[in-house]
Amino acid sequence: MNEDQGQVCQRCQQKPAQVHFSKVVNGEKSERYLCEDCAREEGAFHFMLGPQFTVQHVLGGLIGQAGMPANRATVDTRACPDCGYTYREFAESGRLGCDRCYQAFRSELNPLILRLHGRVEHRGKLPSRGAKHLKAQRELDRLRQEMAEAVKREDFEEAAKIRDHIRTLTGGEAHESGI
């Protein structure tokens, strides 16, 4: 809402702007101030105007886009073995019933989590104690990923440099893959 600033709708130039939109595209920020009627008429923002706008609604929209399997009816009725929560209940509420639901619905949740976070593995903040070991492990994971990508694109010279760097960091320990 933006009434207290006295902003006028940028579309109709008559009513007070009550809806403020900020959009960043390719690093360029643009802002629009619209009255509720103009925002509703434009249609692109209708999902944000009512009390029905919740995180669950956004999540529900993403669930539909995450690549549901062909046999959706089976997925919708499949239940978590611990709490009995179904995937349909998750899709409607945006909440899981228990921690085991993550395993029970892994194949459906992974594409959704990947879309939301860009990766499936949790990469939260590091604790102040013990962070040195975790940072080192993350660096090794990153280097191993880079090495695998170099091998994939057949840049063996770069892969060998990364391998040698990994060996330096690990004190010469071999990785599970033998590299």
pTM over 0.75: no
Retrieve residue 46's tokens: 């209708």
Helices (H), the chain: 36-42, 55-65, 72-77, 87-93, 101-104, 106-117, 131-152, 156-170
> CA 80 to CA 98: how far, in whole Å?
8
* Residue percentage of the chain with pLDDT more than 70: 70
**CATH-assigned architecture of domain 3-48:** 2-Layer Sandwich (3.30)
So what's the pLDDT on residue 75? 55
* Residue percentage of the chain with pLDDT more than 90: 22
Q: Where are the domains of the chain?
A: 3-48, 55-117, 131-170
Instruction: Tell me how long the chain is.
Output: 179
> CA 115 to CA 28: how far, in whole Å?
23
The distance from CA 33 to its chain's CA centroid, rounded to whole angstroms, is 28
